[in-house]
Homo-oligomer: A and B are copies of this chain.
Amino acid sequence: MRLLFVGDVVGDSGQQMIKEYLPKLKRKFHPQATIVNGENATKGRGINESVYKSFLQTGADVVTMGNHTWDNREIQDFIGGAKKLIRPANFSANQVPGIGHTIININQQKLAVIDLQGRVFMTPSDDPFAVVQDILEEVKKETDFIFIDFHAETTSEKEAIAWFLDGQVSAVVGTHTHVPTNDARILPKGTAFMSDVGMTGPYDGILGMKRENVIGRFLSQMPTRFEVDETGRQTLSACVIDIDDKTGHAKKIFPVLINDDHPFMD
């Protein structure tokens, strides 16, 4: 089984990259399942229903979220019925709407997709190490094909959960920093890992936001409204993961970047 995972889509710019390149990437890599992190898809903050649906129409099978899940208030109106939209599973149990993992059918097989959020330097949440074990106990009854989007700030927490889960899941791929890392690898017991897949959207912003606002904040420490840098060049950050059809272990993981420094090639 081959998976394609696209990192944090930011704003209109990110949506355009999805519309233009997701079909091309699917034609090039032939993934059986496509997962997109959409936590910044609508104006950089959260996601609304129309963008969520457009991702499904363009070819996403599951949309994952992160710390920006609730930033667009529209999500509260449709998350209850959105079966392909998952938010971090370790958000305060029973206090928030939505689901934290889902299992989708791919031909004769099943793929579990789990969304988790880290705790270091982030809003408090339930323990991702404990929550993922509970979920795995349940999910493992149905399938060994398990993909985890671990939305976290620090490399230590990302490496720790990946090594902790090595051999139990097919892949742990980080998101949230908006910068792709150069550490994609298969851990010794068969779990594919990379610390962060990076973002999709403005290539010349700062994490996708207008540079002058972010730099201004660092210079003055005065509060600034960040806005997506919608006018410049664009990037897409993703990874491809090959999973052994018998064991659920990963065989291969490699990054995919599309931007002026990494032009797309068919």
Contact = CB atoms under 8 A, between A and B. Distances in A.
A21 interface: no
Contact of A93 (B71, B130, B159): B130
B181 A180 contact: yes
Interface string A154-182: 11110111011000000000000111111
B120 A124 contact: yes
B215 A198 contact: no
Interface string A121-156: 101111101100000000000000000000001111
A123 B181 contact: no
Interface of A: 70-71, 91-93, 95-96, 119-121, 123-127, 129-130, 153-157, 159-161, 163-164, 177-183, 185, 188, 195-196, 198, 204, 206-207, 211, 214-215, 218-223, 255, 257, 261
B70 A206 contact: no
A229 B129 CA distance: 22
Choose among A93, A130, A183, A221 the residue with the greatest number of B CB atoms under 10 Å from its CB: A221
Given A130-B93, A163-B215, A182 B185 contact: no
Contact of A155 (B160, B178, B255): B178
Contacts of A182: 179-182, 198, 255, 257
- Give how many copies assemble into the complex: 4
A160 B210 CA distance: 10
A183 B206 CA distance: 12
B222 A164 contact: no
Contacts of A180: 181-183
B127 A207 contact: no
A263 to B, nearest CB: 13
Given A160-B215, A221-B124, A92 B130 contact: yes
A240 to B, nearest CB: 14
B127 A155 contact: no
Given A92-B221, A160-B218, 14 more contacts: A70-B223, A92-B127, A95-B219, A120-B124, A126-B127, A159-B206, A159-B207, A160-B211, A164-B215, A179-B196, A180-B183, A181-B196, A182-B255, A183-B198
Given A129-B218, A221-B125, A179 B164 contact: no
